[in-house]
Amino acid sequence: MGLLNSVSATRRALSGWAMATLVVNMVLIVSGAVVRLTGSGLGCPTWPHCTAGSFVPHQSMGAHGVIEFGNRLLTFVLLITSAMTVVAATRTRAAGNVRSLSWVALVGIPLQAVVGGLSVLSGLNPFVVALHLLLSVAIILVVVKLVWVVSHHDTVEVDGLAMALVRAVVAATVVVMWLGTIVTGSGPNAGDAGARRTGFDLETVARLHGISVWVLVILTVACLLLGIAHRAAPMRRWALILLTVEICQGAIGYAQYFAHLNPWLVIWHMVGVSACAMAAGALWSSVRPFQAPDLTPR
């Protein structure tokens, strides 16, 4: 009985650490927005040091140094939660896919830190900064799948059309977020007054971003309708949640455009980015390809 209780506790720990990793990754996206909107992107002007010869900011660097340094500290929190997830997966002798997902999440954190360092060393090159965000989105998709498996959430078998549609929604979500980074890199809130911009016309890229959002919404509605038609409850539920997030995101996006990129609206928009990535990952995790029964004689 004691052994069973120990195994059960370790499995609960695995689920808890995986969920913590997901939450901190989502917070990291929002904290990155705070860094950018406060103009603190170069608050620590070098990497891996904050300033020459010091890993921590000097008092003379002011609030910008504190904000950027605080964002960097989240990387260490992520390393701890991800490492503990790997430890818990190993101790429970979890299935191979669980261990693989936990390791991918762990390896992604230092890779994310390196890309963040390159963005600083490049003077906040907008295309490097874009990769920084997209890596966070990719890690969230992986960790959502991990949480889904270890927490035993429902999945449903679907046909090839439904599976392809769900994958198209995930791909479109990533495209929408990438175009969003291009809009940011073309606008005034690039993280520092002296940061490079893309050179693209802001209104043009904003319209392209808006078109991509409408494409994503249409694909998500199709997913929802297909989930209803197939009585695939998990697919239907997460398609509806994702659609709700997209509508809220669209409303905030148009509001921030007409409010000339009000910082508070931009922050809420980044909260929506992390929620959208999570919901898209959950939709993806809620379905699995249909497996025809094996009728081969034994």
- Each residue's pLDDT tens digit in the chain (298 positions)? 444 445 566 778 888 999 999 999 999 999 988 888 888 778 888 888 888 878 888 877 788 888 888 888 999 999 999 999 999 888 876 667 888 999 999 999 999 889 988 988 888 888 888 898 899 999 999 999 999 988 888 889 988 899 999 999 999 999 999 998 888 888 776 666 667 788 888 889 989 999 999 999 999 999 999 999 988 899 999 999 999 999 999 898 888 877 777 777 888 889 999 999 999 999 999 998 876 554 555 5
Q: Where are the domains of the chain?
A: 1-152, 153-291
Query: Residues 16-28: pLDDT tens digits?
Result: 999 999 999 999 9
Contact between 47 and 15 under an 8 Å Cβ cutoff? The reply is no
Average pLDDT in the chain: 86
Other Cβ atoms within 10 Å of 15 Cβ, number: 18
Cα-Cα-Cα-Cα dihedral sign, residues 84, 86, 91, 92: positive
